[in-house]
Amino acid sequence: MSISTSPTEPDALVASRASTYVELHGGFGNQLFQAAAGMAIAARAGNELHFDVVQLLRDRQRQYELSRFPHGAKVGVFPSADPHWQGKRFVESVFHYDQAVEALSGEMLLRGYFQSPRYFSGIEDRIRAVFDLDPLVGDDVRSRAATLEANDAISVHVRRGDYVSNPEALALHGRLDAAYYRNAISLIRRACPGVPLLVFSDEPSAIGNVLEGLGPWQIARGASHFEDMYLMQHCRHHVIANSTFSWWGAWLGQHEGGMTVAPRNWFARETMLSTYCGDLHPEGWILL
């Protein structure tokens, strides 16, 4: 896997500062959450930011996805691979926002998912600037995105993949049924009749069963996940899956008057019984 390093501050300044190391893992959406939390925590502590990719180097299905963003972090294999490292290790122990991060200082390693916008509250504009997808897409994609905006389109994310094929992933995350999509789309269309549907899915052949009877829709066919998320964020309304990918597609959009519908049950029933998800979604999103 090729690792590139984003521009950092002068060496003389960096040498005098402690470091915040963020252990990245999972797919694109997960890495965005981890990076955003790391940026906020490092800034609050006055630390230099590092992205530790040791787990991604060991993962045959995932890779480092953030090399094209101007996050300012150094990227490499850092203390998580060293059992003798003496810095603090903050390991996420709950799914919801943990206020303990606010007291972190000095040399530290962060390990977790950090799936809450509360982790980067107050620096949202910076996060949106760093994760700006516009430089990563071509003129044809920008033209399609402008058309989506002009038509107040609804993005619909049907996440299947390992949620269906992997028994462990299915047991943890569950699978959204067709009723969720029917109810979510109908809710938006009651407020905004006739708006077009743009559907994003890792299994397009299954979409007909999920969206049967909901009128015409189109499949998004971006050449990369950067293009897919860019198209998603330029829709005015969103029906997201229990997926960090469409969470970010909706959050990066934030169109005035737009509606975002998210599944109340982010995980399968058994996991939801012991998991508080109240910090996951921004205020104003509709949970079904």
Q: Per residue in 204-230, pLDDT tens? A: 777 877 788 777 888 887 789 999 999
CA distances from 106 to 38, 46, 49, 90 (A): 14, 9, 12, 12
pLDDT value of position 57: 93
Cα separation values, 200 from 5, 133, 151, 203, 207, Å: 31, 17, 17, 9, 9
What local confidence, expressed as pLDDT, does residue 74 receive? 96
Determine how β-strand 108-111 pairs with β-strand 154-158. Answer: unpaired
- Report the DSSP beta bridge partners of residue 111: 91
- Minimum mean pLDDT among 39-48, 114-123, 264-273: which range? 264-273
What is the per-residue pLDDT for 249? 97
Please state whether 10 falls in left (phi above 0), alpha (psi between -120 and 50) or beta: beta
Q: Which candidate, 245, 230, 288, 239, places its Cα nearest to that of 259?
A: 239
* Reported confidence tier of residue 49, pLDDT bands at 50, 70, 90: very high
Comparing CA positions, the residue from 156, 166, 137 lying closest to residue 215 is 156
pLDDT value, residue 239: 97
**Which percentage of the chain shows pLDDT scores above 70?**
89
Label residue 147 by pLDDT band (50, 70, 90): very high
> Is the pLDDT confidence value at 46 over 90?
yes
Confidence class for position 2, pLDDT limits 50, 70, 90 = very low
Q: Where are the beta strands (DSSP E) in 84-131?
A: 88-91, 108-111
pLDDT band, very low/low/confident/very high, at 256 (cuts 50, 70, 90): confident
* Window from 79-93, 111-125, 220-234 with minimum mean pLDDT: 79-93
Q: List CB contacts of 189: < 8 A, sequence separation 6 or more.
A: 154, 195
Question: Higher confidence at residue 222 or residue 78?
Answer: 78
| Token pair recorded at residue 232 | 């998603």
Q: Residue 242: name the closest of 162, 131, 150, 143 by CA.
A: 162
pLDDT at 154: 96
In which band, very low, low, confident or very high, does the pLDDT at 162 lie, cut at 50, 70 and 90?
Answer: low
| pLDDT > 80? residue 15 | no
Spatial contact of 265 and 146, defined as CB atoms under 8 Å apart: no
Lowest mean pLDDT among 116-125, 147-156, 194-203: 194-203
Residues of the chain with CATH 3.40.50.11350: 137-287
What is the mean pLDDT of the segment spanning 265-286?
Answer: 93
Which phi and psi angles does 207 have, rounded to 5°?
-70, -35
Domain at 137-287: CATH architecture: 3-Layer(aba) Sandwich (3.40)
Average pLDDT over residues 116-142: 97
Radius of gyration, alpha carbons of the chain: 19
The lowest-confidence range among 22-36, 43-57, 106-120, 199-213 is 199-213
What is the predicted pLDDT for the residue at 205? 76
At residue 142, what is the residue type?
Answer: R
